[in-house]
């Protein structure tokens, strides 16, 4: 039977990791997968996480199973950072741990479908795995254009799809640091989105995988909190893989805001059943480390300081790119006012290949770059290479 399986292409983004590591050129630049790098090009473990892991090793006295909901201490400790002072909206929000943000998105979409969602509106472009998850779950995706040509959000498009949506429609929104464009809605735009969502009855699923890497932990939560304040119910997919640097430990959480507190029991009994049938329970280690950080004032401060350093460094890179004088077809200026790890260069797949072949610069074929892959030691080379392929 097994010869019936047709070969699938490797995930294009993850394939870049291997292509890059196989390249022997010493001045190569990795702008592929979304991993933060320091000014020296490293991705170190956060000091706050190292300290928490140390405590975990010393204090953990069992590896016995938790339930499908994972470490609820972790899930609950995150809530004030995501949802603000009234972290539960009067008890209407609850959550569970998931394997990374991907697990949270998958659970959110599958549960929305189980609850009756028939179509999901999604901005284009989006993180490629969003479409893959929808296709795997067999939920119909209805695309709208996320960005305008000038590098800002196409607010008319998103408001338009919400206003003209059908019953049983959902919409997937990026909470902050849009992947792949870096183009976030402004606070005023979020206000408008929240208002039309409240009127339309469209079910919001908010994917927030980069909180703190845009403008700050509070600032990056503005849109999410605004929407939750306006609508009766919503799902939230959260990732700690970037803002705690836990990538391979796969640390995420799924939250649901219900119309009534009483609805949560049924929602999470379904979420637990879906999780049990998919991954049974999430890996524990990273979530436990985050819980230790968030329950300790000193470690929380240290973590927030580390996050601020990352954000500031990416802002510097963005400012340098925005000021670069690149004649030709590739405009870098919009990168200066965008957020987070990513931005899109208006380059063709051929130019992406040329950058890889001739300059050892690796990026997704869509033209998405990981801003954090650039630093003072390689940014000049990058700008010169862009100028060459754009000429
Ligand atoms: C990315 O977009 O590069 C990250 O979210 C990593 C991933 O899983 O794709």
CATH of domain 65-295: 3.40.640.10
Predicted local distance difference test score (pLDDT) of residue 10:
85
Cβ contacts of 204 within 8 Å, gap of 6 or more: 170, 171, 173, 197, 227, 231, 234, 235
Predicted local distance difference test score (pLDDT) of residue 391:
81
Cβ 127 under 6 angstroms from ligand 1: yes
Distance 333 CA to ligand 1 centre (A): 24
Catalytic one of 51, 110, 127, 194: 127
Predicted local distance difference test score (pLDDT) of residue 162:
98
Kindly give the pairing relationship between strand 29-30 and strand 361-362.
parallel
Residue position matching structure tokens 């601020």: 308
CA distance 236 to 257: 8
How would residue 291 be classed by pLDDT, with cut points 50, 70 and 90?
very high
Catalytic one of 207, 220, 249, 284: 207
pLDDT above 90 (res 290): yes
Cβ 369 under 6 angstroms from ligand 1: no
Distance 250 CA to ligand 1 centre (A): 12
Predicted local distance difference test score (pLDDT) of residue 9:
86
Cβ 33 under 6 angstroms from ligand 1: yes
Range 348-366 average pLDDT: 95
Predicted local distance difference test score (pLDDT) of residue 59:
95
Predicted local distance difference test score (pLDDT) of residue 331:
83
Predicted local distance difference test score (pLDDT) of residue 11:
86
Cβ contacts of 37 within 8 Å, gap of 6 or more: 30, 43, 370, 372, 373, 375
Q: Which residues in the chain are classed under CATH 3.90.1150.10?
A: 11-45+301-390
Q: Which residues in the chain are classed under CATH 3.40.640.10?
A: 65-295
Give me the CATH topology for the region 11-45+301-390: 3.90.1150
Kindly give the pairing relationship between strand 119-124 and strand 93-99.
unpaired
Calculate what percentage of the chain has a pLDDT beyond 90.
92
Closest residue by Cα to atom 2, ligand 1, is: 34
Distance 247 CA to ligand 1 centre (A): 9
Catalytic site includes residue 303: no
Catalytic one of 48, 108, 209, 275: 209
How would residue 86 be classed by pLDDT, with cut points 50, 70 and 90?
confident
* Lowest-confidence segment of 10-14, 95-99, 211-215, 234-238 by average pLDDT: 10-14
Closest residue by Cα to atom 4, ligand 1, is: 34
| Tens of pLDDT, residues 113-163 | 999 999 999 999 999 999 999 999 999 999 999 999 889 999 999 999 999
Cβ 372 under 6 angstroms from ligand 1: no
Distance 261 CA to ligand 1 centre (A): 34
Predicted local distance difference test score (pLDDT) of residue 326:
78
Cβ 247 under 6 angstroms from ligand 1: no
Range 39-58 average pLDDT: 96
Residue position matching structure tokens 């469209």: 202
CA distance 248 to 369: 21
Range 170-188 average pLDDT: 98
Catalytic site includes residue 207: yes
Range 76-89 average pLDDT: 93
Cβ 181 under 6 angstroms from ligand 1: no
């Amino acid at each position: 039977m097994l010869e019936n399986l047709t070969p699938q292409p490797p995930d294009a983004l993850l394939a870049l990791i291997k292509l890059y590591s196989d390249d022997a050129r010493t001045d190569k630049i990795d702008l592929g997968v979304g991993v933060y790098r320091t000014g020296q090009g490293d991705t170190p473990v956060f000091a706050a996480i190292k300290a928490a892991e140390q405590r975990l090793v010393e204090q953990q006295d069992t590896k016995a199973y938790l339930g499908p909901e994972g470490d609820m201490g972790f899930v609950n400790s995150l809530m004030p950072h995501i949802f603000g002072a009234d972290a539960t909206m009067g008890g209407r929000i609850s959550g569970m741990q998931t394997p990374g943000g991907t697990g949270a998105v998958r659970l959110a979409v599958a549960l929305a479908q189980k609850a009756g969602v028939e179509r999901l509106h999604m901005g284009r472009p989006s993180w490629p795995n969003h479409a893959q998850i929808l296709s795997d779950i067999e939920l119909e995706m209805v695309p709208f254009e996320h960005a305008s040509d000038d590098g800002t959000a196409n607010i008319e498009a998103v408001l338009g799809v919400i206003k003209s949506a059908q019953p049983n429609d959902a919409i997937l929104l990026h909470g902050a640091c849009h992947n792949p464009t870096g183009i976030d809605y402004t606070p005023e735009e979020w206000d408008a989105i929240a208002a039309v969502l409240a009127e339309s009855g469209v079910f919001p699923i908010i994917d927030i995988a980069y909180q703190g890497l845009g403008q700050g932990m509070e600032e990056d939560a503005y849109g999410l909190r605004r929407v939750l304040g306006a609508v009766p119910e919503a799902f939230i997919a959260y990732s700690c893989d970037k803002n705690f640097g836990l990538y391979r430990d796969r640390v995420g959480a799924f939250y649901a805001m219900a119309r009534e507190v009483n609805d949560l029991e049924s929602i999470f009994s379904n979420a637990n059943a879906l999780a049990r049938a998919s991954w049974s329970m999430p890996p524990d280690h990273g979530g436990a480390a985050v819980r230790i950080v968030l329950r300790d004032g000193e470690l929380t401060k240290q973590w927030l300081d580390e996050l601020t350093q990352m954000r500031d460094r990416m802002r510097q890179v963005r400012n340098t790119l925005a000021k670069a004088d690149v004649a030709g077809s590739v405009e870098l200026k919009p990168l200066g006012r965008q957020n987070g790890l990513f931005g899109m260069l208006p380059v063709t797949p051929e130019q992406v290949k040329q950058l890889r072949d001739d300059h050892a610069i690796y990026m997704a074929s869509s033209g998405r770059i990981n801003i954090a892959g650039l630093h003072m030691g390689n940014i000049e080379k990058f700008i010169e290479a862009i100028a060459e392929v754009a000429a």
